[in-house]
Amino acid sequence: MAEGTGAGRQHPLRERVIVVGAGPAGLSAAAALKSRGIAALVLDRDDEVGSTWKGHYDRLHLHTVRWLSNLPGLRLPRHEGRWVSRDGVVRYLQEYARFHDLRIRLRTKVRSIRPDEHGWRVHSSAGDLLCDAVVIATGYNREPVIPEWPGADSFTGELIHSSRYRSGEDYANRDVLVVGAGNSGAEIAVDLVEHGARKVWLSVRTGPNILRRDLLGLPTQAIGVGLRRLPPRVVDRVAGITARLTVGDLTRYGMPAAGAGLMTRVSQERIPILDVGLIRLLKTGRVEVIPAVEGFAGADVVLTHDGRVQADAVIAATGFRRGLERMLGHLNVLDASGNPLVHGATTHPNAPDMYFTGFTNPISGMFREVAIDARRIARAIAGSPALVSG
């Protein structure tokens, strides 16, 4: 389990494998490696396992069904319900680390990773470590992004990123604007209404694909697993017909039409909204869709086409960066947006024995996919001739 910061410890000369990140992807990789006899060392900058999940807003639940969200070697407990809560995920991750007796060094920030004579040198806040292979699993949502809106400094209301949002209780009887029509923005809008916000706007630049979370009792995720191997144009057509039949025409309620088909948008890293109440609130007028935010002017939020609203608070559900540039930018293994050029068991020619997991957001569910990646990565590492034995 946790090894603390490593301060004052005598580090081994060389680790076989270092895993960077103690979230679902990193823990999965470490457990899969251990099942093959490789006791990886997991490094994480935070104070406890699951701390990133613990910091999410109170209402959050997995949008993927429990039985398709198990990590390798330990099932999510049945008592956590069909859609596992944020706290349920934290409990599971902490129990997962204990159950597999993983070697985890917390409060250890990895600053950079560079080639070493026989592998990798990991520069960390606890000193340098050497390893034969490294797994990067620092997470899809690492660094919050707020657009550089003109006049933001002049805004007289509250402006926060969604990563700092906790509960709609803090916004009762207030006028609140949520910017961004992804799953977080949609769920925060629902949470605000349910906790008594006086007015809730949802600012949308491009219409999202919206699906029911389940259809006739079958989780949409399960359907996504079945459809993901079909040609994108086929999935786009099937999803479009399904949305018309089960969601209806939301343009009547101000929501712009989706800019493209579901699978086409997924390929552009635009994941569909899985509905947890937004559809009903749009149709009843409890959430009002407004155009994109262009800037701020004192108490006003300036919208496209010269529109304006006055909000007491603005919550920017405007996404995250992977934040890998400082750690890995010198290796030329990232694309222009900072995303890894490879993932899973595939390695880049510039970085043999470096693996990436947890940096995609598939419609089949992130937990499910990091579990699959973990087994593939463990198999590749165990079979790599570059690993030092013992």
Q: How far apart are CA 205 and CA 56, in angstroms?
A: 24
Determine the structural domain holding residue 201 and report its residue range.
Answer: 144-316
Q: Which residues contact 246 (CB under 8 A, 6 or more apart)?
A: 211, 212, 215
How many domains are there within the chain? 2
Q: Is residue 8 part of a domain?
A: no
The answer as to whether 210 is a domain residue is: yes
Backbone angles phi, psi at 89, to 5 degrees: -65, -45
Q: Tell me: do 287 and 201 sit in the same domain.
A: yes
Residue 65: give its domain's CATH number: 3.50.50.60
Residue 132 domain flag:
yes
**Residue 10, pLDDT score:** 53
Domain annotation covers residue 7: no
Sequence letter at residue 104: I
Secondary structure, 3-state, the chain:
CECCCCCCCCCCCCEEEEEECCCHHHHHHHHHHHCCCCCCEEECCCCCCCHHHHCCCCCCECCCCHHHCCECCECCCHHHCCCCEHHHHHHHHHHHHHHCCCEEECCCCEEEEEEECCEEEEEECCEEEEEEEEEECCCCCCEECCCCCCCHHHCCCEEEEHHHCCCHHHHCCCEEEEECCCHHHHHHHHHHHHCCCCEEEEECCCECCEEECEECCEEHHHHHHHHCCCCHHHHHHHHHHHHHHHCCCHHHHCCCCECCCHHHHHHCCCCCEEECCHHHHHHCCCCEEECCEEEEECCEEEEHHHCEEECCEEEECCCEECCCHHHHHHHCCECCCCCECCCECCCECCECCEEECCCCCCCCCHHHHHHHHHHHHHHHHHCCCCCCCC
pLDDT attached to residue 187: 96
The C-alpha angle 37, 42, 384, rounded to 5 degrees, equals 45
- 387: in domain: no
Q: How many CB atoms lie under 10 A from the CB of residue 29? A: 33
Sign of the Cα torsion 36, 39, 45, 46 reads positive
Please tell me whether residues 76 and 179 are part of one structural domain.
no
Determine, yes or no, domain membership for 283. yes
Could you say which of 289, 316, 343 is where a domain stops? 316
Same domain, 247 and 354: no
Which has the closest alpha carbon to 41: 9, 15, 4?
15
Within a domain: residue 388?
no
Q: What is the pTM of this model?
A: 0.90
Q: Which two tokens stand for residue 360?
A: 């995609």
Residue 273 CA to residue 185 CA, distance in Å, equals 9
For 355, what's the count of Cα atoms within 13 Å in the CB-facing half-sphere? 32
Same structural domain for residues 116 and 167? no
Query: Residues 219, 225: contact at Cβ < 8 Å?
Result: no
Average pLDDT for consecutive 10-residue bins of the chain (390 residues)? 52 83 97 97 95 91 91 97 96 98 97 93 94 94 92 96 96 97 94 98 93 81 75 85 90 90 78 91 97 96 94 96 94 94 96 94 86 97 70
Sequence letter at residue 157: G
Same domain, 232 and 262: yes
